[in-house]
Chain A
Amino acid sequence: TQLLEQSPQFLSIQEGENLTVYCNSSSVFSSLQWYRQEPGEGPVLLVTVVTGGEVKKLKRLTFQFGDARKDSSLHITAAQTGDTGLYLCAGAGNQFYFGTGTSLTVIP
């Protein structure tokens, strides 16, 4: 049973389009992180959100932590080919729990 479910699992969009990736759970987490992973490499941290309702922006990426600290979303504005990769959410509880992942392909 996966503690964190991400949707969609795969996403293919044109350059310039907007997209949102969701990370949902029935469990409460003390914090939630988003990572991006490129082929053949380990994940790299993008952001950590700690407070329920928190919104963080990283250039064209906007991250939101749900009010109840059970879910999160990642919104990308005007996607670029360099955004292509696997996006993973991870919740911190007594351990780290990673989501199922969203594979994003941005087509030029």
Chain B
Amino acid sequence: DTGVSQNPRHKITKRGQNVTFRCDPISEHNRLYWYRQTLGQGPEFLTYFQNEAQLEKSRLLSDRFSAERPKGSFSTLEIQRTEQGDSAMYLCASTATGVDYEQYFGPGTRLTVT
């Protein structure tokens, strides 16, 4: 078990560009979560998947944001037409329902929009 991994760890992009982040959860974890954390704040929920189904999306997830988990394993989070307000740490977490209620977090992807 290698833990939750996220790539890239850092991303600098210009306003208006599209970016995509990847999360690889712990194998056999059926739930995968995305959170966003801005400086000095706690993480805020964005969306989560159970297997390949996206079960809930936060109002924070504007139309510019889209997430997928096509085969129920890794997930991608895409932000289109990035804005400076999108600058944040994007955290991914996974868990196995019915086994444990702990969410295991990845190291995060830090996005800077210039």
- A and B: bona fide binding partners: no
Residues of B at the A interface (CB closer than 8 Å) are none
Residues of A at the B interface (CB closer than 8 Å) are none
